[in-house]
Chains A and B, each alone.
Chain A
Amino acid sequence: MAPVGGAAAPVTTTDALARGRLRASLVPDLLVEARRVVNTVIAGWHGRRRRGIGENFWQFRPYVDGESHARIDWRRSARDDHIYIRDREWEAAHTVWLWADPSPSMLYQSAGASVSKQSRALVLALALAELLSRSGERIAWPGVTDPFAARDGAERLAARLAHIQSPSARPEMAHIRRFSDIVVVSDFLDPAEETQAWLGPLAQRGVRAHLVEVADPAEETFPYAGRTEFHDPETGERLTAGRAETLGADYRRLYLARRTELDMWCKRLGWSYTVNHTDRLASEALVKVHMAMTVDPGLGHGVHS
């Protein structure tokens, strides 16, 4: 019986030679694909001259019942009998941090999936980079680049990524500042508590995060049966199940519980949580992440595909 899934050739690898070759050939592909994806999304992209996330004043507008009291501009409201809310303009140089999980577990690709998770994650990240660069946002990759704004942001990011010797599993995020957005593309297979402990400080600093879970269908449906020995690609742990099919129900429950917990947590923080399966189109997730980015902070909610 052929294995259900295996490790795909890494899209980024620590091996210098293989990495150079792979990067040279693969990254352009990714870019092409990312551009293709972006083109389908760009139509939903609105003009920037509007209120939105930003630090600059955009307009005062009358308070409407139901809006948060915290947003009332009391100084302006004190002038007359109306109550005003200060809208901010969409920040021109909004900083969006992008990060795709480079861990070995991301290399997994099952038979039912078209690409590996890492490939999908990179595609998503670079597509977002392309998207954001085109709209003039500042993009950055923690541990790789500081925020920069460039038309060819995606290429530059890809080039920078290609030179990373050993991407850290958990990048340093201390210098991500307030009002920034961060898009974290990973499989989030660590226990939810670890993920929360890792990303929790961002919420405290006011960073809005968009979590994109890239999931292989095999991970979710657990199509294994019979005597199976499972390997963890990260830790090398081994686990042998005599009759794997008997574990399926419990596993799926735990797997979905983790996702639900992360989803709920993100909702609570006003973040978004997006799930993208590698047997589905990347653009689905891209659209949803983009939509989540455009909604008001605090009102963002997770979307699922």
Chain B
Amino acid sequence: MRETFVNTVEKALDEDPRTALVLAAISADRFQRSARRHPGRVIDLGIREQAMIGVSGGLALSGMRPIVHTYAPFLIERPFEQIKLDLGHQGVGAILVSIGASYDAASEGRTHQAPGDVALIDTLPGWTVRVPGHPDEVRQALEQDLPGDHSVYMRLTGETNRSALPVGPRLHVVRTGSRRSAGVVVAVGPTLDRVLEATEGLDVTVAYTSTVRPFDREGLAALVASAGSADVLMVEPYLEGTSALEISEALADRRHRQRSLGVGRGSELRAYGTPEEHARAHGLDVEGIAKSARDFFLV
């Protein structure tokens, strides 16, 4: 995904004089070609993440389209007030693209992990949030978002589904349950392949999205209306319950049950190891999702 991001942005820098790339050291080595070709539009501020967002706000105020990139905790958590004020409050937008996701950097420890990034962005109005599950979705989403002026958070990860699906704004139905089905499972981005394996044999509808904001409330309501039960299991690769409000709002006019899977909120996981081990610890591996699905759908 990171490579597709680099290639897509290098092409955009070549073709659209409005684009500017703002970096804080991370990935600068991968953009050397663009830095030589467009020295005024590839801006590496060094390890200065507050300035990175402030500078991006200034670039947007001057009429440019900033793309801003570093590790998730340093992109979203460290300069969060700059995101709120230097972009949102100024009435300008930027495309923020992170790497690292919730625990790609499992062996680096808590400092390099940002499971709360999407929940934080969700406190701000008007953002588009992209959580691609495949490199082709990274390119599709960027091609949709680059021409605009809106604010976008795109969360890249090392984990990839086997095949790409169309990028939002609607939920994409991957498997359709019967009229007596137990409910609907929504898989976000890189969780899809595991969700499909974990729910094999269950009579449920499985829907996919890589565009979590704005969330397709209408689409979910329609899928629930044609399912046997108004039960929704949401599987997200970041903080559990991040989209619980979206599901509540989508189904506000009907009695329903919902359960959220994601990175646990209860305690900080003080462990290193691999992303696969972290997925297991949070119940986000195939076995964990399968167990939660059986429990929730009462089968």
- Genuine A/B complex: no
B residues whose Cβ falls under 8 Å from a Cβ of A: none
